[in-house]
A and B are shown apart, each in its own frame.
Chain A
Amino acid sequence: MKEFLMIALGALIFVVVFQIAKASEYVSILKGEEKTRKQNNRINAFFLLGFLVFGLIGVWYCNELLYPKTLFPQGSASVEGEEIDSMMMITIILTGIIFFITQILLFWFSFKYQEKDNRKAYYFAHSTKLELIWTTIPAIVLAILIVFGLKAWFKITGDAPKDAIVVEVTGHQFAWEFRYPGPDKVLGKTNYKLYTPKNNLGVDFNDPASHDDIHVNTTMHLPVGVPVKMVIHSQDVIHDVGLPHFRLKMDAVPGIPTTQWFTPKITTEEMRKKTGNPEFTYEISCDQLCGANHFAMRGVIIVETMEEYKKWLAEQTSEYSNLFPEKSAPATNTTDSTAKQTAQVLETKK
């Protein structure tokens, strides 16, 4: 019933607007079309000026309202992100200047040079000098932006520092899995064909390097101030490790591992104090449409001090000992079904 009323109301407004519009057409014929046209011209020119003025106020107001909600007031949570933030500021300022100049000229010219009976348009077909000026200026501005941008780009996408902690990140519909290499600092080999619901990362437990690997899901712990290198995989469709607070992003592509490194510089605790938000959390958003629950593919990063991180790490047990609690010997001697299957798959692959 409510919907019906809404539709009826909408239709009514429609009819009223249309009747007014139709009537204005007859009025214009009565008044003289040329006269009405000129009157409309003045009204629209005035509106264009009004649009400029209110538009500029709106831009300012929108900024007042929404800037505090962006990530810039709290600063980048990673060392590398600082570069992106300063780059962003340079770009905002340069494009902002161009934006205001061109928009003001556009609407001001429209208002100022509206049709007047005593005005003759000025025949001005071209000027090589002017055209050279506005080819050169944008080219210089862009050259500046390109130089700064690429400097940051090569730094961020360059090789990770040697002392970086390695964490393997795996995305699948619709969750994140993390694998830490353990004391030996080497991740065990994986093969997607070894997947079982229990061994959901397809780890080859015949590889001794896998025996001390630690698996966790959803929440990733990182120490502050130490570079971390993420090795990113996907098991099914393309996902994306989105780290808005750290200003980074990298796709997870099935069959093609990618990497991304960064240095967290503010712990979760510090950020909670800084933002005054006790619920503040570093979140990993999936930034590549990956299916029906894409919007719920949420991960969490807890950045903590080195002591806290080491304590947390010491509390974790390796996936191998979780899956094979009775074993300490190498998997080749085992009769456990998972390991057996592992061996079989590897056999058939050869």
Chain B
Amino acid sequence: MSSVATVQHAGVHEVHHEHHHHETFISKYVFSQDHKMISKQFLVTGIIWAIIGGLFSVIFRLQLGFPDTTFPWLEDLLGHWAAGGKLKPEFYYALVTMHGTILVFFVLTAGLSGTFANYLIPLQIGARDMASPMLNMLSYWFFFLASIIMFASLFVQTGPASGGWTIYPPLSALGDASSGAVVGMDYWLVSMAMFIISSLLGGLNYITTILSMRTKGMSMTRLPLTVWALLFTAILGVLSFPVLFSGVILLLFDRNLGTSFYLSDIVIAGKILPNEGGSAILFQHLFWFLGHPEVYIIALPAMGISSEIISVNSRKPIFGYMAMVGSLFAICTLAFLVWAHHMFVTGMNPFLGSVFVLLTLLIAVPSAIKVFNWLTTLWRGNIRFTPGMLFSIGFVSLFISGGLTGIFLGNSALDLHLHDTYFVIAHFHIVMGVASIFGMLAGIYHWFPKMFGRYMNNTLAYIHFWVTIVGAYLIFWPMHYEGLAGMPRRYYDYSGWNSFKMFAGLNEFISFVVIIVFAVQLLFVFNFFYSMYKGRKVTNQNPWQSNTLEWTAPIHPGHGNWPGEIPEVYRGAYEYSKDGKEFIPQNVPVGEEETKGH
């Protein structure tokens, strides 16, 4: 570290200078305004949430796989929620709800965007930090606050929210309807409000930074695709999260102030409620106006990360750079116009439904372009299978599998049969859940040497990859068949149903695989934290022989990223194997390739 400090002194930079002298433990690791530290804070918080969210899925899979077995240790862990070693239905639904909320928002939104937007944007565009480091810091701390509130809700007497991550009222509005709606739901809503603030602060910062702080020569068409993807992600978030915010606030009003935004004509627990004139469907519109873009908020960064890693490790330029940017833009635009495909069976006007069918299936076109472009990038490459590359290939495979089933669900006629069945579970877990987790893991493996100056253990990484991809397919592929048999999602027990009980054996098999896959994720977590302190040290400034600017910064970049001048950019991000040179970093001036490139 000392050598880095001296290098930092050499860089005469006011912002950095000021910080250097007051750097204490608190300012460096806790209330840091350095984008790299904030990124690590997001990442570590995201990983902790991923363990919790994953553990919840293991617990509810135990119930689904082994409905007749009791697990005495569950009672030790969960108390009266699992009296006698068997999960109660109320708590089963609470776990399902929390699993969805945690993974969608805390892991795949904050954990993914928060980590990589913070880390990569300034380093890849050639900026010393975010446009507003202060707002950036607040973005993390609002996320932290949201996390604390959500975590606290797990310990409420009546349990955390249990109405599904989509929290449809009236179920989420009335304490008489479900135990999770007594108090747990208020925690959920307040936590989500904090989360939305965090997301907005982050998003505004990312957009501003990308648009106005690029280094000299870094035109928009020279940006790495990671940055493009993160830009569109931020735009989606900034434009759609406020709508969820209004939905959340109105639901808080309905719950606590006696308003009737979502409530009408309700008799519950023998009581006739006075609410009239509200619409439960209104909430679904507000929710899915965020909810659908949210899917792309999760998917786009994974696409960007995979594009970058596939190009670097194929030693080839990403095929069709402009088409890749254009398809990101198309997906980003269409993402706002398809939300009601989640509502085909709410009794909506069939004509309105048909418009959403058209717009929804249109998304398949830019998605197909991306897939074919990734395939062409691999074609005639010279491919290195680093762990990051394997996860990126896995991402493409999962994105294809899960994307194609979207064509079923987006077609309203088929949705009549498949809506809210295991087909939906299989679809979105593959395309947005596991695929995006793969994108995130690819990013972690690829940029870990940059983040921590050390390598992760490769053997563990390979074990992690192979068990995870085989496991993911074993878990979710058979679920399509359950869905085709009409098996509804969110059931605590199927043994009472003539139509679905024949899947008991399959459910047991799936639960078994879930446990193995979860255990292997713990191996990754261990590898991550162990390598942070004990991993092999990075000695090569550019270990993957990559073109992008982050690899021109020192192995341990200080606050301000580059000790001297910010490098100037002379070319696009993907000049691999061009004119016989294996790679030409972006900061190599035209005509000087011989000296710096290989």
Chain A residues engaging chain B, CB cutoff 8 angstroms: 3, 10, 14, 17-18, 20-22, 24-25, 28, 37, 40-41, 44-45, 47-48, 51, 55, 58-59, 62, 66-67, 69-72, 81, 83-84, 87-88, 91, 95, 98-99, 102-103, 105-107, 109-110, 113-116, 119-127, 130-131, 134-135, 137-139, 142, 145-146, 149-150, 152-154, 156-158, 172-173, 192-193, 195, 197, 202, 232, 235-238, 240, 242, 244-245, 247-251, 253-256, 258-259, 279-281, 283, 285-296, 298
Contacts and interface: CB of A to CB of B under 8 A. Distances in A.
B279 interface: yes
B466 A47 contact: yes
Contact of A72 (B373, B470, B478, B484): B484
Nearest to B347: A258
Contact of A17 (B358, B364, B458, B460): B460
Interface residues of B, number: 131
Nearest to A197: B270
A289 B576 contact: no
Contacts of A66: 478, 481, 506
A258 B349 CA distance: 10
Tell which of B263, B393, B494, B526 has the most Cβ of chain A within 10 Å. Answer: B393
Tell which of A114, A253, A279 has the most Cβ of chain B within 10 Å. Answer: A253
A158 B354 CA distance: 12
Interface in B402-458: 404-405, 407-408, 411-414, 416-417, 419-421, 457-458
The 9 A-B pairs of least Cβ separation, nearest first, read A244-B486, A255-B264, A258-B347, A66-B481, A157-B350, A295-B491, A21-B459, A149-B411, A44-B385
Given A58-B477, A69-B503, A150-B357, 9 more contacts: A70-B481, A87-B414, A98-B368, A99-B401, A106-B375, A115-B383, A156-B416, A292-B90, A295-B496
B478 A295 contact: no
Contacts of A110: 378, 383, 385, 393
A253 B281 contact: yes
A289 B463 contact: no
A123 B576 contact: yes
B562 interface: no
A146 B341 CA distance: 14
Contacts of B503: 69
Given A146-B411, A157-B353, A283-B498, A238 B272 contact: no
A103 B378 CA distance: 13
Given A114-B385, A138-B364, A149-B412, A236 B177 contact: yes
Contact of A192 (B73, B267, B319, B577): B267
A236 B439 CA distance: 41
A247 B478 CA distance: 20
A281 B496 CA distance: 12
Contacts of A81: 417
B490 interface: yes
Given A40-B458, A153-B354, A256-B280, A106 B369 contact: no
Contacts of B526: 14, 18
A173 B379 CA distance: 56
A22 B267 CA distance: 63
A91 B414 contact: yes
B371 interface: yes
A248 B174 contact: no
Interface in B162-189: 162-164, 168-171, 174, 177-179
B317 interface: yes
B280 A249 contact: no
A259 to B, nearest CB: 7
Contacts of A232: 347
Contacts of B519: 10
B567 interface: no
Nearest to A83: B413
A22 B347 CA distance: 59
Given A126-B323, A285-B499, A145 B381 contact: no
B576 A87 contact: no
Nearest to A259: B347
Contacts of B481: 62, 66-67, 69-70
A122 B350 contact: no
Given A20-B459, A41-B384, A72-B484, A98 B272 contact: no
Nearest to A20: B459
Given A142-B361, A253-B346, A286 B488 contact: yes
Given A103-B400, A134-B369, A244-B499, A150 B354 contact: yes
Interface in B491-524: 491-494, 496-500, 502-503, 506, 519, 522-523
A247 B414 CA distance: 8
Given A22-B457, A138-B368, A149-B413, A195 B272 contact: yes
A149 B344 CA distance: 13
A259 B346 CA distance: 10
Contact of A40 (B177, B404, B413, B462): B462
13 contacts: A17-B523, A25-B536, A47-B466, A51-B470, A67-B481, A109-B375, A113-B381, A115-B383, A121-B382, A152-B413, A193-B272, A254-B266, A287-B488
A3 to B, nearest CB: 5
A41 B385 contact: yes
Given A114-B383, A296-B496, A256 B347 contact: yes
Contacts of B486: 71, 242, 244-245, 285
Given A10-B519, A106-B397, A248-B417, A91 B279 contact: no
B265 interface: yes
Contact of B353 (A84, A153, A240, A290): A153
Interface in B233-261: none
Nearest to A143: B361
A181 to B, nearest CB: 21
Interface string B340-356: 00000111001001100
Given A244-B486, A250-B347, A91 B459 contact: no
Interface in B522-547: 522-523, 526-527, 530, 536
